Amino acid sequence: MDDRIYNVAIIGYGGMGSYHGQLMESEPQVAVIGVHDIVEYRMELAKAGGHKAYPSLDAVLDDESVDVVLIATPNDVHKEIAIKALQAGKHVICEKPVTITSSDFMDIVEVANQKNRVFTVHQNRRWDEDFRIAKEIIEKKTLGELFHLESRVQGANGIPGDWRQLKAYGGGMLLDWGVHLLDQLLLITDSPIESVAATLSYVLGTEVDDGFTSYIKFKDGLTAFIEVGTTNYVKLPRWYIKGTEGTAVIKDWDLSGEIITRNPEVAHIEPKPIQAGQGLTKTMAPPSEESTLTLPIEKPAPAAQTFYTNFVSVIEGKTEPAVKNEEVHRVLVLIEMIFETAETKSVIHRSI
C-alpha cells in the first residue's frame, strides 16, 4: 500500500507561508492544496501557484479534505487559529514563536490532547548544519567537558519593516531569532537553569527590542552567552565553544571555522613570552603548535528525517515528535524570564 498523502492548508501566505509551500513540494507525504490570507495579492499568488484560495478560515476548517492546517500568520493570532483548527479535527503545524506567553501555549496543548490531534511548532533551526555540528562536537566531547558556549546571530539591517516592529503582534528579536537560539541551547544540555540575566536593545527606537544579550547559568556549571543583534556591521562568530581540552569556532552559516584541542600525545609545553603592546606576556600567548591539534569543521551526516516526514510519522504513531511540546514550553518560560530580568535589571534565580 502506498504511503498516504496528507493535504495541507496554509493560513498566512507571506514569506514563511510561501516558503513552507516550496519546501513541501519535495515532501512525498504532504501536499499543499489551499491557502487563506487576508491580503488579496497573496491569494492571487497562491492561485497562480495552483492552490485553492479559501475565502475564510472557516472555509478551510469546513473542508473535510484538509488534514493539516499550517499557521504562518503574525504571532498574536496563532492561539486562536490553532485552537479552532484542532477543534475542527485538523492536525496543526504552527510557526514560531507559537504564542507570546507560555500559558497561551498550554491552552493550545490542552485542546490538542482533548481532540487527539498532533500539534507541533516549526522549530526549523534544529536542522541547521551549524547547530548540528556544534551539538555533535559537544556530545562527542571533542573539546573535553563543555563549560562555556556563545551563540549569536547578527546583522545590520534592523527589524523587517512590518508587524515584527509592533508589540501587539508579538514583534521584536527575542520573540523572533531569540526563540531559535534559546531552543538550540536547551537541546545542548539537559541541566536545569540556575540563573538568567539579560539586556534588551532599543537602539533603533522601535517599541520592541531590536536585539538582546542574555547570560544563562546552568546547575551543572555550564554558562552560556546568547546574543541577537540587528545593528552589527561587523559580526562576531556564530558559535564559540569552550571545553576543558579545547575550543571551537564556527564563524557563520558557511561553516567556516576551526577546532583546536590539546594534543594528547604531547606533554605540556611552557609557552614562550610574546610582545603584547608595550609589554610581554606568557598568559595570553597562544599555545604551541606542538601541543595542540587543529581540526577542520566538517559537515554533519544528513538528518534522519525532515521536519515534515517526522510530523507525518507522529500522526501515524510511528515515532516521537522531533519538536516536543514540553521543549517548546520550556523555551517560552525562559523567554518570559529574559523579559523579566531585563525589565527589573536584576538576575533571576529560578530553576526551569
* Torsion 308-314-319-325 (CA) sign: positive
Q: For the whole model, what pTM was predicted?
A: 0.96
Which range of residues forms the domain containing residue 13? Answer: 6-122
Q: Are residues 103 and 32 part of one domain?
A: yes
- Domain's final residue, options 95, 122, 149: 122
Q: What is the mean pLDDT of residues 294-321?
A: 96
Cis peptide before 97 (omega within 30 of 0): yes
Q: Tell me whether residue 312 is in a domain.
A: no
Residue found by looking up cell 511540546 in the block: 325
- Domain's final residue, options 83, 98, 122: 122
Strand, coil or helix: 309: helix
Q: Are residues 29 and 151 part of one domain?
A: no
Q: Are residues 65 and 141 part of one domain?
A: no
pLDDT band of 2, cuts 50, 70, 90? low
The CA-based angle 29-34-35, given to 5 degrees, is 125
Q: Are residues 162 and 44 part of one domain?
A: no
Q: Tell me whether residue 287 is in a domain.
A: no
Q: Tell me whether residue 148 is in a domain.
A: yes
Q: Tell me whether residue 204 is in a domain.
A: yes
Q: Tell me whether residue 241 is in a domain.
A: yes
CATH number at residue 101: 3.40.50.720
131-182 pLDDT, tens digit each: 999 999 999 999 999 999 999 999 999 998 789 999 999 999 999 999 999 9
Please state, in angstroms and rounded to a whole number, the distance separating the CA atoms of residues 194 and 186. Answer: 13
Q: Are residues 100 and 227 part of one domain?
A: no
Q: Are residues 193 and 48 part of one domain?
A: no
- Domain's final residue, options 106, 122, 138: 122
Other CB atoms within 10 Å distance of the CB of residue 252:
14
Q: Are residues 150 and 98 part of one domain?
A: no
Q: What is the mean pLDDT of residues 231-256?
A: 97
Q: Are residues 132 and 113 part of one domain?
A: no
pLDDT band of 270, cuts 50, 70, 90? confident
Q: How much is the mean pLDDT over the chain?
A: 96
Share of the chain above pLDDT 90, in %: 95
Q: What is the mean pLDDT of residues 78-99?
A: 98
**Is residue 81 exposed (0-12), middle (13-18) or buried (19+ Cβ within 10 Å)?**
buried
Closest to 187 in 3D by CA, of 344, 292, 331: 331
Q: Tell me whether residue 151 is in a domain.
A: yes
Residue 172 CA, chain-centre distance (Å), reads 15
Written as one letter, the residue type at 319 is T
Q: Tell me whether residue 289 is in a domain.
A: no
Query: Does residue 1 surpass a pLDDT of 50?
Result: no
Q: Are residues 103 and 173 part of one domain?
A: no
Q: Are residues 199 and 61 part of one domain?
A: no
> What is the DSSP-derived secondary structure letter of residue 64?
T
Q: Are residues 192 and 76 part of one domain?
A: no
99 and 109 Cβ atoms separated by less than 8 Å: no
pLDDT for 346 equals 97
Query: Does residue 269 surpass a pLDDT of 90?
Result: no
CATH number at residue 150: 3.30.360.10
Q: First and final CA of the chain: distance in angstroms?
A: 45
Domain total for the chain?
Answer: 2
260 and 240 Cβ atoms separated by less than 8 Å: no
Q: Are residues 88 and 139 part of one domain?
A: no
